[in-house]
Amino acid sequence: MRPIPSCTRRQWLALSALAAAPAWAQEGGRPVRIVVPFAPGGGNDVLARQLANGLSSTFGRTWLVENKAGAGGNIGTEAVVRAPADGTTLLLGHTGTVSINPALYKGLKFDVQKDLAPVAMFASSALMLVVPESSPVRTVPQLVEAIRQANGQYAFASSGSGTGGHLTAEMLADALGVKMSHIPYKGTSPALTDLVGGQVQMMFSVIPPAQTLVAGGKLRALAVTSSRRLAQLPQAPTLAESGIAALAGFESTLTYGLLAPRATPAAQVAELGRQILQVAGTPAFQSKLGVEGAEPLLADATQYAARIQQESRKWAAVVRASGASI
């Protein structure tokens, strides 16, 4: 008689989790679809696919990623709002789509906070304030002085109107009581290209592409927008560390989580959230976040809902102050 093979600790944990899960969440159940409301290849897409891979391998149930880009993320968001509320369709939520867009776009046919149920939050990312390497500006105080002397003509780039980079610059201007000139681009890459060439003077960029140009000696990093220094960029100070009183407490971070159609049964939302946080809490997943300029930020459904409400109030105020609209 052949001996029964022993299980590793990881296998036992997976089997225990499977046994504890309801039938619809177990191996062999219908696939779960994560709708990413942006094009393939971007940071949102990469994070969603890493999470989906971890969930599929841990729990045996298939998790898929589907890209539905357009209208700043509103097309994919509305698709999830209209999807069957059976726990098989989730939205990759991002600060831009769930907290900024409701204030930025007029006439949306859905209400994020009424039509979607937060499931779990798993990561956050800051932005990097960069200037051309040829710029005489080397510190945040020098940047502030240059902006004041430009009398509203200091040009900053963004990857598009209403994006996190655009509104972070507007938030900076509002805090300092100054005006700047916004030059929107159709994406991060062309904006950074013109920044390197000196056609614009500064930018709040997502970290991975900016960091590559900083490492290559083409851009200079002045600060990051998080409340504390980032583990992957310990040499970069925060804006709050600049010594400028108006920037004390300055923070602009983007969060990532998953949301379901509002009518999804609470038991399914809770079980999906438990699985997501289990995978997002592993060192294997968290080590991949740094590559995308993100850090782990774990929160259950209740905490994520509170975060969305907090960020919605914050960004709505920035949108009103800046006059931005789409």
The predicted-structure confidence for 155-187, as pLDDT tens digits, reads as follows 999 999 999 999 999 999 999 999 999 999 999
Query: Which pLDDT score, from 0 to 100, does residue 2 have?
Result: 40
| One domain for residues 176 and 266 | no
Boundary-marking domain end, from 193, 224, 247: 247
Classify residue 304 by burial, with Cβ atoms within 10 Å: 0-12, 13-18, 19+: buried
The whole-number pLDDT of residue 22 equals 52
pLDDT of residue 167: 95
pLDDT at site 15 = 43
Q: Residues 223-228: contacts with CB within 8 Å, 24+ apart?
A: 223/128, 223/129, 223/140, 224/126, 224/127, 224/128, 224/129, 225/126, 225/127, 225/128, 225/129, 225/168, 225/250, 225/251, 225/252, 225/253, 226/126, 226/251, 226/253, 227/251, 227/253
Is residue 179 classed exposed, middle or buried when 0-12, 13-18 and 19+ CB atoms within 10 A define those classes?
Answer: middle
Q: Which domain holds residue 187?
A: 126-247
* Residue ending a domain, choose from 196, 225, 247: 247
The stretches in the chain having pLDDT less than 50 are: 1-21, 23-24, 27
The predicted structure's pLDDT at residue 28: 53
| pLDDT at 82 (0 to 100) | 97
Confidence (pLDDT) at 231:
85
* 8 A C-beta contact, residue 167 and residue 184: no
1 within domain boundaries: no
Same domain, 290 and 264: yes
263 with 295, same domain?
A: yes
119, 87 contact by CB (below 8 A): no
Q: How much is the pLDDT for 18?
A: 42
Last residue in a domain, options 191, 226, 247: 247
